[in-house]
A = this chain, B = another copy of it.
Amino acid sequence: MMIREATEDDWAAIWPFFQRIVAAGDTFTYPVDLGEEEGRGWWLLAAPNRTVVAVDEAGVVVGTAKMNTNQAGNGSHVASASYMVDPAYAGRGVGRALCEYSLAWAKAAGYRAMQFNAVVETNAYAVKLYRSLGFEVVGTVPGAFAHPEHGYVGLHVMHRAL
């Protein structure tokens, strides 16, 4: 697996699993019916923010990450990031590799920390992964996410110093 800069041409490969993940409505605070063009704008970020893809040995896009400054002004020393892995390639370390990549990028870019603003507390896989990479739950906003199966669940704010 290799992680490289995403191009506009990659969107056609990202969109099918992006749409599937967003439409499931259990992990992202995105409109579940987000359209393809609008989704492209939400995911493919302009510099100095970045979007990358993880590709396998055959060049197939198996996951993607976007990385950005979390707040402006005097909060701009903290980065944020989001990750999506094609469910067909789950369990192969793609999410971990993307998260590690984003942490290395943020550190190299001079950010002092990485923050996630809205990690669905029932997304056990993601919470465990982030904890294993040094993130801590700063707090949990109660009932801030309307989970399609579990009802109102909390959104974790997670943080890791760099």
- Complex Cα distance A154/B75, Å? 10
Cβ-based interface call for A73 (8 A): yes
Cβ-based interface call for A143 (8 A): yes
Chain B residues lying within 8 Å of A30, measured Cβ to Cβ, are 72-73
- Complex Cα distance A144/B115, Å? 9
Question: Are the CB atoms of B78 and A144 closer together than 8 Å?
Answer: yes
Q: Choose among B31, B75, B118, B142 the residue that contacts A145 (Cβ–Cβ < 8 A).
A: B75
Question: Are the CB atoms of B29 and A118 closer together than 8 Å?
Answer: no
The interface-forming segment of A8-16, A46-54, A56-64, A133-141 is A133-141
- Complex Cα distance A115/B29, Å? 15
Cβ-based interface call for A98 (8 A): no
Question: Are the CB atoms of A139 and B157 closer together than 8 Å?
Answer: yes
0/1 interface trace, chain A 54-91, chain B, CB 8 Å (1 if under): 00000000000000001111111110000000000000
Cβ-based interface call for A147 (8 A): yes
Cβ-based interface call for A28 (8 A): yes
A17 to chain B, nearest CB (A): 17
